[in-house]
Structure 1
Amino acid sequence: MPTLRLTHHAANERWLAQIFDAKAARRGGIVRRAVRDVEREIGRDRLKAEVAGRGFHMIECGGQFVIICRASDLVVHV
């Protein structure tokens, strides 16, 4: 039978805060986190809500969430 891992809510919020407290995030750069880590710690929906609330952009590629910590327009070149 699978085990359910319960984590403390405050610890999860600290984990989320650390993402956006990184030097790259504070300078308008890029941060990335493994999808499996996000799903384990806070959940995909919570991260999406935080990114959207800050006006940032996020893409998912190769098992990673890539967060562009800038609220300006995003242009993707192929």
Structure 2
Amino acid sequence: MTHILPHLPPTIWMQRIFEAKAARQGQVVRRSLKDIDLIVGREAFQRELQRRGYHAVMNGDQVVIFCNNQPIRLWV
């Protein structure tokens, strides 16, 4: 199976995530881990989260990004 390369450069792809309405309002956005790995790489993505003071959690193949710097508490 051949992977189709993304049509957006990594910086633009990441910029669009954080310009989403939910992100601008300090809410959450979700992306697939596969897309993060393929387009920007985990290390670059993590650096951008840290630079912004944001947090993220992984569940299965999804990454939920908290676009604020509030603490995260896990509910059982």
TM-score when normalising by structure 1? 0.83
1:3-18 to 2 correspondences below 5 Å: 11-18=9-16
Residue 53 (structure 1) shift: 1.0
Equivalence for 1:54: 52
Equivalence for 1:24: 22
> Residues of 2 paired with 1:27 and 1:65: CA distance?
18
Structure of greater Rg: 1
Amino acid at match of 1:37: D
Equivalence for 1:35: 33
Residue 6 (structure 1) shift: 7.4
> Residues of 1 paired with 2:12 and 2:73: CA distance?
31
> Residues of 1 paired with 2:5 and 2:35: CA distance?
14
RMSD: 2.2
Summarize deviations over 1:16-74 as a string: whole Å, max 9, x none. Answer: 10110000000000001101111110001111111111111100111011101111222
